[in-house]
Amino acid sequence: MSAPSPSSAADSVSARTFGPSALATPANAVTMARLLASPVLVFLVVATGPSTWLLTWLWFICAGSDGVDGWIARKMGTTRSGAFLDPLADKFLVLGVLAALAGIGEVAWLPVGLIAVRELGMSVFRAFAGRRGVSIPARQAAKLKTLLQDAAVAFALLPPVGLHHVGFVRDLLWVAVVLTIYTGLEYARDGRRMMARAGAS
């Protein structure tokens, strides 16, 4: 097998603009914008909700920015700060809007509380595993869980659905709750196995 040419090696290095320890990156800027936009969206849901076209478009912009910062990070270099901030911003956004919807009576508090407990528990567990040098990859079911949570919020904010089909929104949220709990148990099981192997090595 031939060695990579100097030009291809240089292209590979230049493609990664930021190293793992970088903080001020374009990807992190998008993530921070989503984090800072979360309380604004929560306020608007309480003040003008439950369902308006403005809230719908703001939600799609905020939720869609998650894919944008991920794409930028893959192109310019992933960072430890981004790995911490990105899921934090996602949780603030989803849980904040769900809590606002529960506060105005659009959805029940119980499913929102169950999702919040799971997400908090997984954050603590992830930090616990990280201190032991174990990084637990997310399964495909976890990505589906995130998609269902986002969809439940989107339909709640979408006027043709949220204003006239509240039962559908609540049923969809419960489906998201079931998958959220399942993926949490799956993640904890994977984490225990990985930590056990790391301790045995």
Over residues 122-158, the pLDDT tens digits come to: 888 888 877 777 777 777 888 899 899 999 999 999 9
- According to DSSP, residue 106 is labeled S
More confident residue, 19 or 110: 110
Q: How far are the Cα atoms of 11, 67, 105, 194 from residue 90, in angstroms, in the given order?
A: 32, 11, 23, 25
The percent of residues above 70 in pLDDT, for the chain, comes to 90
Q: How many residues does the chain have?
A: 201
Do the Cβ atoms of 94 and 62 come closer than 8 Å? no
Q: Which residues have C-beta within 8 Å of that of residue 20, sequence separation ≥ 6?
A: 77, 78, 79, 80
Range 102-127 average pLDDT? 91
Phi, psi of 108 (to 5 degrees): -80, 155
Domain 22-200 annotated CATH 1.20.1300.10: no
Q: What value does the mean pLDDT take over residues 169-181? A: 95
| Highest mean pLDDT of the ranges 15-19, 46-50, 96-100, 120-124 | 96-100
- Give yes or no for residue 113 having a pLDDT over 70: yes
CA distance readout (Å), 43 to 50, 95, 103: 11, 13, 11
Measuring CA to CA, which residue among 145, 136, 131, 26 is closest to residue 82?
26
Q: What is the pTM of this model?
A: 0.83
* pLDDT higher than threshold 60 for residue 8: no
In contact, 113 and 102? CB cutoff 8 Å = no
Across 53-74, average pLDDT: 88
* Contact status, residue 178 vs residue 110, Cβ threshold 8 Å: no
Domain ranges across the chain: 22-200
The Cα–Cα gap between 129 and 106 comes to 36
The pair of structure tokens assigned to 20 is 């793992």
